[in-house]
Structure 1
Amino acid sequence: MTDLLPNRTVAALTRRSLLGRKRTLVLLLLPLALLALCALARVLAGMDAELDRALDGSLPPNLLTAFGIAILMPLLSLVAGTGSIGPEIDEGSIVYLLAKPLNRYSIVLTKLLVATGVVVVFGVLPVAVAGVVLTGEVGSVTVAFTLGALAAGVAYAALFLVLAVVSRNAVVIGLIYALIWESLVGGLVPGAQALSVQQWSLAVVEAVLGDAAGGLGVGAAVSLGTGLTLLVLVTVAATAYAGRRLETLRLHDES
């Protein structure tokens, strides 16, 4: 069992690759945009008493759902998930790692943990700060969306990591999935909502908010039990399949 544990050397190499100067700048853009929007919205609402009353508490959920959960988390996880292993496969340098006596599942698990850490720092924490900026407190809204963002980030990171293992076009496919399926189809089409990571994570948000969720306009297409089950299932299945594919990876396979 010990050979399945995360490897410190792999973690250090992955962290160094993910947090290079250019990629760090990319990772910073979306959370800074979220915080800027939240600060602007709060200032404008505070300057206009009628607007503040008209919003009636709907401002935080609207911004945190539409930008934080639907845009920030999938795009940030795309950069972290694919960047944790995709460049090594594309460049062929993964062969040096695979030549070591390391369990392939340990490699995948380590890279997923590093990618998740990056998502937490650049995604989950900014969502928490945004919640405080919008509400002025570390209340139920802030806690709910922080937990929802964390749940979404882990699942997205696992999905995009396995995508980088199975396809050299992971970034393009991931962008299409994040922008079209998760942001548009998964958020608007009733039948497709049940298959959306966004909706599964919103089930967590809705559960934490409790009775206040309805008044704040927060609603998920699935129940908490279903959402959590699907989040765990997708994360575990994606991680396991990535490890399996890594065992039989052919560096010149164009698939």
Structure 2
Amino acid sequence: MTNNKLAVLIDSDNAQAAIAQELLNEVARYGTATVKRAYGDWTTTNLSGWKETLHSLAIQPIQQFRFTVGKNATDSALIIDAMDLLHSGGVDGFCLVSSDSDFTRLATRIREAGLAVYGFGERKTPKPFVAACDKFIFTEILRTSSPEKVQPEPTQESLHTILVPAIAAAAREDGWAALSAVGNLATKSHPSFDSRNYGCQKLSELIRKQKFLDTKSVASSDGSPNVHYYVRVKET
């Protein structure tokens, strides 16, 4: 976990309370959730599942009445608060929890200011919102202890498109690339890239399964038990 201070802003109309704990566990991988807010009209019954969750996880409910049918006031309230937090300088990044494309411009604006944006949403989340984030996590993989395959079974073509350019960009003269660098580059070009989408807990596990790649591990030279992993495209 890093020391980054993160604002977790939840669109309760487009997020499930059942995965709230798992969501915060995932957020902890990227920093500390110093702000936790959930937006919605808490006078309605459709958010009843959130109410107990809010208290147990110390998430602050932000009330936003629906003044007009068909207009999403919740989105506007979340965006206004996000901009206030952005200009206050009190956080290092944002976690936007929604499957709604309305937050695409918000994500790009935050990134323009130099802060990180982590998106969380269901597999149905529109691609523009996914692409606008530094990292996007499909919430389906948070629902169980075992990763759920939320994409079709990975093919050589699909992963080839993601991994080969990343390996080429990170490779040394001998063709080997540090796995950590490959993972970072793959995420930068494809924000939703995550080994758990393919049923693998770790990137190294996913890489080893790909027939078009070679892998090797090298013990740390400083005497520590750490092992460094490398990958390269197989010669044809």
Provide TM-score, normalisation by structure 1: 0.24
If asked which structure has higher relative contact order (CA below 8 Å, sep 6+), I would say 1
